Amino acid sequence: MAKQLHLGAFMRPVSIHTGAWRYPGAIRDANFSLAAIQRFIRSLEAAKFDYFFMADHLGVLNLPRHALMRSHTVTSFEPFTLLSALAGVTSRIGLVATASTTYDEPFHVARRFASLDHISGGRAGWNVVTTSNPDSSRNFGLDTQPDHAARYHRAREFYDVVSGLWDSFADDAFGMDPDSGIYFDPDRMHTLNHKGEHFSVSGPLNIARPVQGCPVIFQAGASDPGRQLAAETAEAVFAAESTLEGSKAYYADVKARATAVGRNPDHIKIMPAVFLVVGDTVEEARAKRAKLDSLVHYDSGIHSLSGMLGHDVSGFDPDGPLPEIPESNASKSSRRFMIELARAENLTIRQLAAKAGSYGGLAFVGTARTITDEMQHWLEQGACDGFTTMFPYVPEGLEDFTSKVVPELQARGLFRSEYEGETLRDHLGLPRPDNRFFA
């Protein structure tokens, strides 16, 4: 049997495109409408998607009013609250949320994800991030955020503490014997007593070991520290490469790093993010993309670009080239991508802002057949294990993919027609980890 793709859906925001809410027929309040999001996740589960993913931001971006007023991401649900609600209207699809290692505490994160894993019957995943938005720091009593290297150093210890807390109880700790009156065996409980550079955490966690043993660990690191953290800890990676050759190199690098630290490289799934626009003809799909891109206002695009670069470029000549941009504490991958794009295509700041406000990364724009061709080619070329899909607008863009592309993938044997397991680990073909403290 041919290797099959994994498919996840990036759903917070419901579209990464800043013009999505303006597209004809779009659900304007989709980012904070429970009814709409329930509709989306049911469609994705019916299409047998591996997971539904919610990114998160810990503050409203500090934009000028004329840019902020155009943002459809200024309001959205807190991920754990929403995913717990969505667990009740689904039964198989994975539920993945971002939680920051920069502005949260390990005990909080361990408890929330363990709870979500139990509530959902083993479908939780944690996207481990170091917060790169400098505006978030002011919501947590800080004037500036920690630098890039310090954030990753903290993240590594944060992960160790969280994963240790998940192993607080042996799987058989809760005998719940009514005859003896013994609810659990204290000899099957472990107190972590972690004391490190960043954290001092006693434990144990006050919830039973997660159904999956450990919720699936996701990451998105593109920088060297990010790749190394992924190789050491991640089980699925949101890659951001926009070319086939770039993704092949990233895929090989992360898998090699995993092998070097003694991990099975097949236990890390590389899932590039891809923006999808589906039409009945290639020309129709391109026209949809052009219409969508035309809805991005320059005020919005220029501040999206500034955020990605970690530097305010709104004062430069819009029709001039991008000047040299100094290093910052912003996301290294976003900064690198936009600078390389500007240089490779000789773009003006205005043109680059249009791409930043729309979506300048990997995009498949075409018919069900041509998009399936591209996905199959990436899989067979060793550039990915699947894709984290992003829809141009909702509901139409999402339903175009689930009703047209998914059946084509299934017909070629590239994607499942039915779920074969119950948990997110089952869907991704990942083993349930042993408890490090108990046989």
Per the annotation, binding residues are 56, 98, 148, 152, 223
By three-state DSSP, how is residue 242 classified?
Answer: coil
Single-letter amino acid, residue 370 = T
* Greatest alpha-carbon span in the chain: 80
- Helix H segments across 89-188? 106-120, 148-166
Binding-site positions for FMN read 56, 98, 148, 152, 223
Dihedral-angle region of residue 286 (phi above 0 means left; psi in -120 to 50 means alpha; beta otherwise):
alpha
Strands (E), 22-179: 51-54, 94-100, 124-129
Rounded CA gap, 389 and 387, in Å? 6
In a 3-state reduction of DSSP, which class is residue 198? coil
Are 97 and 54 spatial neighbours (Cβ–Cβ below 8 Å)? yes
Q: Which of 270, 287, 265 lies closest to 278 in space, CA to CA?
A: 287
For residues 219 and 237, is the Cβ–Cβ distance under 8 A?
Answer: yes
Please answer whether residues 389 and 9 qualify as being in contact, where contact means their C-beta atoms are separated by less than 8 angstroms.
yes
